[in-house]
Amino acid sequence: MFKEVTLEHTVEAKLTKGKAAKAIDSKTWRQIKKIIEATDGQAGAPIRVLQKTQGLIGHLPREVLEAISREMRIPLSELYGITSFYSFFSMVPKGKYVIQVCLGTSCYVKGGQRIIDAVNKDLGIESEGTTADGKFSLQTVRCIGCCGLSPVLAINEDIHRRVKPSKLKDILGSYR
């Protein structure tokens, strides 16, 4: 008789090696399985599963995508396609505070790049990077939707308008 391979079996194998062992425990894997079961057969289920899973653990590491692929019987390439297409998905851990600097036309013209340069200097991270302590991540975006307030940066849900590099230390200081 064949042994049924479930998400828990996959988890046990994955937990014995790699970074997943440090970040994801059996309880979390059971929660992911419940998320999958709750969306079974629904239109758009993969996106909902990925959203809820990322909400649970903060990002979508390869091991998690592989387990979801097997459990949902969806090709891994389809899940990669979804996670790489939608900007709100991330396969790498993000900091507690995600700084998004707008580089849309208005923000770029009014100094968006200078703001990125100031964040790089102050936090010591490049775009798409995370500080060593895991507190801040930096992203560039094409538009936040606040063109009349440019240059703009968002930290999580907080929008900071008409940002000047000289004021950046004060802004970041309120999140430290």
Helix (H) or strand (E) holding 158, with range, is: strand 158-160
Mean pLDDT of the chain: 86
pLDDT-based confidence at residue 41 (cuts at 50, 70, 90):
confident
Task: Provide the token pair at 65.
Answer: 């995508």
Among residues 66, 64, 60, which one has the least CA distance to residue 86?
A: 60
Q: Residues 6 or more apart from 64 whose CB is under 8 A from it? A: 20, 24, 32, 53, 57
Please tell me the pTM assigned to this model.
0.64
**Predicted local confidence at residue 15, as pLDDT:** 38
Q: What percent of the chain has pLDDT over 70?
A: 87
pLDDT-based confidence at residue 128 (cuts at 50, 70, 90):
confident
Q: Give the model confidence (pLDDT) of 3-33 as tens digits.
A: 444 445 444 444 334 444 345 788 989 999 9
Helix (H) or strand (E) holding 77, with range, is: helix 76-85
Measured CA to CA, the distance from residue 103 to residue 110 in angstroms comes to 10
Measured CA to CA, the distance from residue 46 to residue 72 in angstroms comes to 8
**Torsion-angle region of 39 (φ positive above 0: left; ψ -120 to 50: alpha; else: beta):** alpha
> CA distances (Å), 48 to each of 36, 41, 51, 143, in order?
9, 12, 5, 24
Q: Give the model confidence (pLDDT) of 43-97 as tens digits.
A: 899 999 999 999 898 899 999 999 999 999 999 999 999 998 887 888 988 899 9
